[in-house]
């Protein structure tokens, strides 16, 4: 179910990028790899390039600029709008390893 949530989130992000010129301009030239690690050992990654995310891939990606650590319930609650990412972060249910500018960019993803 987590993979499906990730895939739907990526699809929504790409749709917004295709349809929202301002959003697309903000992403122009940005290249990042995001890795999401769940507490049960599942790991996925995806790549942002040319204003779009290339899909969800299994496993770790060496050199990922943004690392996200969480559990399935928290991730699902964030994606479904039942918990804000800020609340999850404040209660340590989600952790990030990223630069400050990348953290701010991630707000667009959630």
Segment (H or E) for 104:
helix 100-109
Quick check: 108 pLDDT over 70?
no
* Of 50, 39, 27, the residue nearest 107 (C-alpha): 27
2-109 is a CATH 3.40.190.10 domain: no
pLDDT, tens digit (0-9, with 9 covering 90-100), for 23-72: 899 889 999 999 999 999 999 999 999 999 999 999 999 999 999 999 99
Write down the pTM of the prediction.
0.89
Looking at residue 60, what is its pLDDT? Answer: 97
Looking at residue 58, what is its pLDDT? Answer: 97
Looking at residue 110, what is its pLDDT? Answer: 58
């Amino acid at each position: 179910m987590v993979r499906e949530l990730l895939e739907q989130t990526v699809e929504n992000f790409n749709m917004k990028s295709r349809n929202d010129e301002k959003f697309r301009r903000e992403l122009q030239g940005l290249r990042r790899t995001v890795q999401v690690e769940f507490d049960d050992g599942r790991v996925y990654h995806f790549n942002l390039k040319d204003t779009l995310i290339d899909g969800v891939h299994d496993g770790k990606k060496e050199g990922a600029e943004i690392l996200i650590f969480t559990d399935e319930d928290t991730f699902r609650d964030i994606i479904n709008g039942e918990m804000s990412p800020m609340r999850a972060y404040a209660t340590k249910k989600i952790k990030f390893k990223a630069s400050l500018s990348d953290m701010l960019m991630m707000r667009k993803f959630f």
